[in-house]
Amino acid sequence: MHKKLLPLAVAGALAAPAAALAQVEVYGTIHMSINQMKYGEATPTAPGGPNIPSASKWDVASHASNVGVRARESLGAGLSAWAQVETNASMERSNNLAHTSNFASRNSAVGMQGNFGNVFVGQWTTPWADLDALWGIGTVATYGPITSIIGRRETTGSAPNWNCSNISGLGGASGAALGGISVGTAACDSVEGQSGVGHAFWRRTSNSIFYQSPVFAGVQVKLSYQTNQDKATAGAVTNADPSMYSAAVTWAGLGGRVRVGAGFDGHKEFTSVGKTDTGMRLVGGWNFGFADIGVAYETMTYKTVNSDCKATQWGIQAAVPIGQGAIRAAYSVAGDIKGDYTAFGSAAAATAFGAAALTGGQTNCGGSLLGADVAGNNGAKQFNLGYDYRFSKRTTVGVGYAAIKNDEAARFTWSGLSSAQGGQDVTPPAGADVGIFFVSMIHRF
């Protein structure tokens, strides 16, 4: 027995000098649930056609399960260098590629931290997305507004690229023409536009520079800039120069019981070359002791060739502590994307890109292949209620129900949910309501 322990002792002795220089931590979260899901009947794919049938199924799902490594080294004079690599742990095999992920797909960066704050580069959640921590207290598992309604569904990836097929409004089409301009056929990023204008406001960006200020009197400022690495002077769309910036300011008082945050994003040439989409949001929360309440309101403006398309979302969450657990609930609403635009050269070109053609060649901002009668009807409502119990700091078990009611042209769901009626695509067909009963377990290490 002692001979077996000797190599471990030698290895520990050799590692001791290195450990004195740097702190290295392996960490992770395994979060799984058993789900009974139902997708309601969906809007016909053509006016007057048959409804897409409903579907009920069971699933075992992984919710942002992850494994990561952190390292930190003190450089003296209050200065530290640090690095982190974090990747999804899918925890499930599937023929659906949507359930797989690449290494370092989550917050991964290297940086320097000191009295001036924290500066780092890599891939990380944006200041816009970090505001969710101030109000997101009403969700069991991940079936809540932050991964569905708020931000018009959580999406991870790089900026849309006009020389690829991952532009919102293209509907995955290839070889078609937008205003007479040929669009590239390669999907350069995992972010794929569905139909209608408007992209999600990113939860995590890559190719980015980040800054987080120190906290002064409860106030902190966060900034990020996604570089314009996809700038193009040749290709399907020339002179495209996409980039993105995100900013947020937060304040916490009364020992953290009161939280307020505001954010602003600018997405340059995401929807239209030469124009910048913008978003603003205000979130907050108050822990009264017997209950914790959180609220959020946000609005986005997508810049099309000739006009603006505007979207608004809001939500409220609550947590009521009971023993070592809490009852958690949330309600949220995504309004219709408002506005019409004439970005397409013809009604035929609009239809080819998955946008509903209106009179005069105009297209609705929330366009779809469903026809003009439902094209602007693309909002949704979401509700969830559940209870989770913390056995320890590491282990939590929960149970609950969540539902999304989609309008006729809407396709909202929760990020990473199982495939819908088609058996592969995790996004339901337009108009399909989604309901789910679940039992979840989280273990942190």
Tens of pLDDT along 81-136?
Answer: 999 999 988 787 655 544 455 678 889 999 999 999 999 999 999 999 999 999 99
Name the residue type at position 151. G
Check: CATH 2.40.160 for 33-69+123-444?
A: yes
| Integer Cα distance of 214 and 221 in angstroms | 8
- pLDDT above 70 covers a percentage of the chain that reads 73
| Integer Cα distance of 361 and 369 in angstroms | 15
State how far the alpha carbon of 398 is from the alpha carbons of 28, 35, 392, 401, in Å: 19, 12, 13, 10
| Integer Cα distance of 107 and 27 in angstroms | 13
Checking if the pLDDT of 341 tops 60, the result is no
Q: Which residue has the higher pLDDT, 80 or 301?
A: 80
Checking if the pLDDT of 189 tops 50, the result is no
Q: 3-class SS at 132?
A: helix
Global pTM? 0.82
Query: What pLDDT does residue 47 have?
Result: 67
| Integer Cα distance of 106 and 101 in angstroms | 10
Q: Name which of 190, 138, 185 is nearest 165 in CA terms.
A: 185
Query: What pLDDT does residue 345 have?
Result: 39
The mean pLDDT value of the chain amounts to 79
Query: What pLDDT does residue 331 have?
Result: 98
Query: What pLDDT does residue 169 have?
Result: 40
Alpha helices in 136-239 (DSSP H): none
- pLDDT above 90 covers a percentage of the chain that reads 48
